[in-house]
Amino acid sequence: MGKKVGALIKFRGIVQGVGFRPFVYRMAQKYKLKGTVKNSSKGVIIEVDGGLEDVKAFYKHIKENPPVLSVIDESYIEIKKASGFKDFEIVKSEKEEGFTPISPDIATCDDCLREVFDPSDRRYLYPFTNCTNCGPRFTIIEDIPYDRKNTTMHKFPMCDDCRSEYEDPINRRYHAQPNACPVCGPQLILWNSEGKVIEEDPIEGCIRLLEKGKVVAIKGLGGFHLALYPFDDKVVKRLRDRKKRPAKPFALMVRDLSTASNYCNIGKSEEKLLLSRERPIVLLERKSNCAIPPLVAPDTDFLGLMLPYTPLHHILLRKGPEILIMTSANLSEEPLVYRNENALTDLSRIADAYLVNNRDIARPCDDSVTMVVDENSILIRRSRGYVPKAIPIKSKKGSQLIAMGPFEKNTFCLVKDGRAFISHHIGDLGNEKSVEAYISGIEDFLRMFRCEPQAVVCDMHPDYYSTRYGIELSNKMKIPVYNVQHHHAHIASVLAEKGIEEDVIGIAFDGTGFGQDETIWGGEYLIANTESFERYGYFYSVKMPGGEKAIREIDRMAVSYLYESFNSLDIDIPFIKNYDKKRLDLIGKMIINGINSPLTSSCGRLFDAVSALLGLCSVVQYDAQGAIVLEKKAGKMSELEASYDYSINGNNVVDFRPMINNIVCDIKKSVDSSLISRRFHSTIVYATIDICRKIKRERSIKKVVLSGGSFQNRNLTYLLIKYLKREGFDVFINSLVPPNDGGVSLGQAVIGLTKIEKE
C-alpha cells in the first residue's frame, strides 16, 4: 500500500440537489477513503485521506463521471498531509459568503414513476413523488445553500419513513430536499369556481370536469396551466374567448411518446427533446390525419406538444384523457399565475375549477418551448427545465454585472465568475404586473446569486422600461451603465454561446430594434465582435404609418411598401380594391407627409407587408402572426425557388422594392400565393448570400452568425444555413438561448463584460 496522503477537493457548478454528496460517499467507499463531504455556498467541498493513487483515481472518477443531473464548471484538488479521519461522513452544510448554482426543475425520473404506479408502493399515485434525480428545484428554493429549511418544503416535516430515506447515504432520496409521501407531504385540493372545496378525490374530480368540457386551472411546478379537452371546437372557442386569445396556438400535453406519434411526425432530435429531463414544449409537424382540431393552432402546420413532467401530470393523463390542452394560466400579456390566492381572482373569468395544492411556488416559471430545424435544436422560450443553469462565458477578471434585457420577451442576465445566469421568461414589460414580476425577479436573482454588479447594461432605446429601470439601478448602486444596440446584442448572444472572439458576419433579422441613427432597425447585416460592430448593410428603409400601430395593423406596411415601390396607390390588385378608401387616403397622406411614420429596415415588417398583400392577414392577434401564416402558405421548403428582383447599392442597402413590384405582377396574373410566398422566402436568402459573399471578398470573414426573431421561421433558417454552407461559410445559430428577444440579455451581458474588463 502506498503512502497515505490527505486531499482537499472542491467542485463548483450544479452540484447541490442532484445527489452529488451521496455519489461522493459511494465513491469514497469504493476507493477505501476516509473523510468528509459537505455543501457550501461555494460548491461541494471534500476532504479525504487515503493512498495517493486511490485519491487521484477518486477525483478523476468524480470529475469524469459525475451524477447525471450535475454540471461541473470548476474542480480543484490539493494534496496535503493526512488529517487522520476514521470514517467517511456527509457533514452538515456550511454557510459562507458566495453562492453555488441552483439546479433547474427536473422531470420525474423512471424510478419515481415506477413507484407512483406500483399499487404496493407507499407512494402509489402520490402526485408529489420525487428524489435526488428529479422534481422541483428552482421553483421551490428560497435561499442558498439548497437545504430543506431554505425551500418551500420547510413547512412539511418529514415522517419517520421519509426521514429514514433522507438520512441514508445509500438511498436515492438521501438529502432530497423536496422528499415527501402521502403521510407527510403536500396534498391536492379541488376547488369549484368560487374556491370552495369539492368533496371528492381531487384527481378523479378533475378528470370528471375535463371530460364535461370544463376549463380546470391546474397548479404545476412553476405555475398554473389551463387544462381543457381539445377535441370540441365549442369548448376550445370558449377558452379562446375567455382568455382573449383568438388565434395564438395552444400547447398540448400528451400521455407518452407513442401517443404523441399518433398526432405528429417526430424526428430523432425531436424525440430526444420530448424525453429530455427539461421536458420542453416541442413544436412538431402535425400529421395529415391528425385529429386535433385546427382551432387549437389555426395558423400553423405545427403543434406544440410536451410530455408529462410531474407525477400529477402522469396520473391525470393515464387515468383521464390521453391528451389535454395545457396552456399557461394568465390573462393576455400578463405574467403566469402561480399563487393559489391569485388564481381565484385573476382566473375567475376563465377557469371553471381549480386543482391546487398546499406547496408554495417560490417563483413562477413558464414551460420552455423548442423546435428543431435540420437537427438543430432551437429554443423559442427558455424557462422551466433550463433556468437557472449557467452559460459559461469568457471573463478575464471574474467581473460581475447585470444586463437588463429588452422590452419584449424579456429576460435579464447576471454575470458572475465567468458564468451567465439568465432569468426565467418574464415576458413583455407593457403592463404593471409584468413590471412587478421583472423587478421582483431581479431582486430575487441578485440575492440568490450573491451578485454585486460592477455595471448595468441596457438597450439603447431610452423609453424601454428595462432601460429606465437599469438607469435607476445604476444610480442606486453608484455603478456605470452601458447602452448596447439591440441587434449587436442578438449577434453577441451567439458569440457568447460559441466562445467566438473574432469578427463575424452578423445577420440580425427581427421586428424591432432601436438603431444608432434613431430609426427602427431589423434587417441588419453587421460585422461584429463582442466589443463593437459596424452596420455594413441593411434592408431599404420604409415608413411605418402610424408608428407602433403598423405592428398590429400590418396592412399599413403593405400600403407603405406599395407606395415606396410604385409612388402611387392606384394599383389594380384585390388588396387595394378591397381597402377602405378613407383609411387608404389617410395612410397615404401619412406616408407622403411623414406624419407619425418612422423609418424601419425591419425584416419582420417586410414579412408583414407581403402577408397582408397576399390577403393572408391584415390585423395580427398575436406576435408574428403575419409571418407565421406566410410561412404556412409556403409550406416546407428544402430548396430555393427562382428569386424575385432586388438590388444592392454602393452602401450595401438591399432594396426589395423591385420584389414588391414582381409580387404585384404575380398577383395580377393570379399566380398561386404558395409559390409567391416560396419565392419571397427565397429572395431574402439570395440577397443575404450576396451580401455575405461581398463581405467575404472584402474582409475575408467566413463565420456567419444568425440571430433575431425572424429565425424562428423554419424555411428562412434552414435555407440560409444550407446555402451559406454551400458557399463555404461556417454558420452559427443560437442553441442555448432563443434567437428572439429572450436571448438578448445574454448578448448585452457579454458586450458589457468586454467593456468593463477593458477599462
Every domain of the chain and the residues it spans:
4-90, 102-186, 206-370, 510-688
Phi first, then psi, for residue 207 (nearest 5°) are -65, -40
Q: Smallest Cα–Cα separation from 488: which of 533, 553, 428?
A: 533
- The confidence band for 2, taking pLDDT boundaries of 50, 70 and 90, is low
Q: If you compute the radius of gyration of the chain from its CA atoms, what whole number of angstroms results? A: 27
pLDDT digits (tens, 9 = 90+) for 618-653: 999 999 999 999 999 999 999 999 999 999 999 999
Q: What is the average per-residue pLDDT within 601-611?
A: 99
CB 241 within 8 A of CB 355: no
102-186 and 206-370 share one CATH topology? yes
- How much is the pTM? 0.94
- The confidence band for 396, taking pLDDT boundaries of 50, 70 and 90, is confident
CB 546 within 8 A of CB 627: no
Q: What is the average per-residue pLDDT within 531-556?
A: 98
State the pLDDT at residue 415: 98
Q: What is the average per-residue pLDDT within 236-264?
A: 97
- For domain 4-90, the CATH architecture is 2-Layer Sandwich (3.30)
State the pLDDT at residue 97: 56
CB 704 within 8 A of CB 504: yes
588's enclosing H/E stretch is: helix 581-593
CB 250 within 8 A of CB 233: no
Higher pLDDT pick, 68 / 167: 167
User: Is residue 15 predicted with pLDDT exceeding 90?
Assistant: no
User: Is residue 269 predicted with pLDDT exceeding 60?
Assistant: yes
Helix %, strand %, coil % for the chain, to 5?
35, 20, 45
- Residues constituting the chain: 759
State the pLDDT at residue 170: 86
The CA-based angle 349-351-355, given to 5 degrees, is 145
Q: What is the average per-residue pLDDT within 330-358?
A: 95
pLDDT digits (tens, 9 = 90+) for 440-486: 999 999 999 999 999 999 999 999 999 999 999 999 999 999 999 99
Peptide bond into 293 cis (omega under 30): no
State the pLDDT at residue 98: 61
| 102-186 CATH, one of 3.30.380.10, 3.90.870.30, 3.30.210.10, 3.30.420.40 | 3.90.870.30
Q: What is the average per-residue pLDDT within 675-699?
A: 99
State the pLDDT at residue 92: 79
> How many CB atoms neighbour CB 584 within 10 A?
14
pLDDT digits (tens, 9 = 90+) for 27-38: 999 999 999 999
pLDDT digits (tens, 9 = 90+) for 145-156: 888 999 999 999
Task: Compute the distance between CA of residue 2 and CA of residue 645 in angstroms, rounded to an integer.
Answer: 78
Pairing of strands 281-286, 369-373: parallel
pLDDT digits (tens, 9 = 90+) for 184-219: 999 999 999 999 999 999 999 999 999 999 999 999
103's enclosing H/E stretch is: none
Mean pLDDT over each residue of the chain, to the nearest integer? 96
DSSP states along 345-388: HHTTTT-SEEEEESSPPSS--PPPEEEEETTEEEEEE--TTTTT
User: Is residue 96 predicted with pLDDT exceeding 60?
Assistant: no
State the pLDDT at residue 753: 97
- For domain 510-688, the CATH architecture is 2-Layer Sandwich (3.30)
User: What fold, for 206-370?
Assistant: DHBP synthase (3.90.870)
Residue 277 carries which side chain, given as an amino acid letter?
Answer: R
CB 381 within 8 A of CB 425: yes
Pairing of strands 653-655, 533-539: parallel
